[in-house]
Amino acid sequence: MNSLFGLRFMDDISSIIWSSLTVTFLISLFMHGRAFLRNWKAAELNSAQLQKESMKAQFDSLKSQVNPHFLFNSLNALTNLIYDDQDKAARFVKQLSEVYRYVLDTQGKEVVSLDEEVKFLRSYLFLQQIRFGDKLKVDLNVDASNAQVCASRLADAG
């Protein structure tokens, strides 16, 4: 009977060990899964926050490029021009839209072709010549053959 009792005791011990290991495994699996989900949720929140900050930075960058003083001065010049010369006012609006199109098109670029930059400069100078009249004189002679330059910004224009 001693050997039967010993085998039964070993079976009971073995059963207890396997039960304990199974419970430990299940608890460990639950805790690791919970930690994984918490970390994943925190990473998602962090990603959303970074994306929000990136969008805000892009918006602030665009706002700084579209200088309010430049726009205010251009609209004042346009108001005066509408009464004096409607054809020139229409050209003014077209050149103003070219200036802002250039700013929007080049906002993500480090360099642009010299041809694009000269085109922008001519539009910008047209606006400034309307505003300042004979006080502003510029002679622009540039060979724009396949050269590239840093893109202009309206942040300092006014």
- Each residue's pLDDT tens digit, 71-125: 888 888 888 888 888 898 999 999 998 888 888 888 777 788 888 888 888 888 8
Residues 6 or more apart whose CB falls under 8 angstroms from that of 73 comprise 131, 158
Closest CA to 74 of 94, 59, 60: 94
62 pLDDT higher than 70: no
The CA distance from 47 to 32, in Å, is 22
pTM of the full structure: 0.51
The CA distance from 114 to 124, in Å, is 15
The CA distance from 137 to 125, in Å, is 9
Across residues 122-147, what is the average pLDDT?
79
